[in-house]
Structures are given as structure tokens and as C-alpha cells.
Amino acid sequence: MIGRLNHVAIAVPDLTAAADQYRNTLGAKVGAPQDEPDHGVTVVFIELPNTKIELLYPLGENSPIMGFLEKNPAGGIHHICYEVEDILAARDRLKAAGARVLGSGEPKIGAHGKPVLFLHPKDFNGCLVELEQV
């Protein structure tokens, strides 16, 4: 059901410093910051030959990333994103297998302009999983 790894998301306390580190220290191709108000984050994508890194920074006081950074002030891996061909079929299959879909269970449009869903980390070995339709 799941396809390729789309990205690994890292919550960061300083978006500019993190982007500069990837650009200047690691020599990576770093995109421009983009606000995602529906998700409460500002993101920067790091392009790698085989996947992407998504840097996450809180957008507003009600950002879901705020709580993560309070618990992990230095930042850390927030979630992994897998591609799926049909997000509704994937959702229905996962729910039938007992997995919990976060939020309303309906896909939202993600940072790549494609439908996304998140799966409860307690159902996936402590890892928050994002599914993105390709």
C-alpha cells in the first residue's frame, strides 16, 4: 500500500539557522520558507537525491509544533511521510485494520498541494506517520 518515502519532517526552534545549516554546512539545495496556515506551520524543504527533509517551524501560537518544541527544545524528528496512490482507499484500509487517523479523518491539502492524512503515533511504534497522495 505505501509507496516511496516522501520526506522526513524535523521540527526546529530556529528555521533560518536550520536552513542555513543544511545549505552552508551540508551543501544541500534548500527551498524558500512557505507558510501553511491550515497546518499551523512554516516549512522549508531540503531537496535530496532520493527524498526530502521538511523543516517545520510554528506558525502562530496555536501551532501543533509548539507542544512538540516545548517537549523537545532543541527540535527533533516530528514525522515521516509515505506516498500512497489513493489516500481514501489507504485511509479506509488502515481504519479497517484498527489504525487511528488523526483529525476529522478527511484529507487536507499539504505543503506539496496534495491530499494528506496523519496516523496516530501510538499505532506505528511511536512515530507520527503522514500519508500523501501522489
Q: 29 is written with which cell numbers?
A: 539545495
Q: Residue 103: what residue type?
A: G
Residue pointed to by grid coordinates 512538540: 68
Residue 16: φ, ψ to 5°: -65, -45
Of the residues 54, 83, 130, 132, only one is catalytic, namely 130
* Contacts by 109-114, CB closer than 8 A, 24 or more apart: 109/38, 110/36, 110/39, 111/34, 111/36, 111/39, 111/43, 111/45, 111/54, 112/6
Active-site residue flag, 130: yes
Active-site positions read: 130
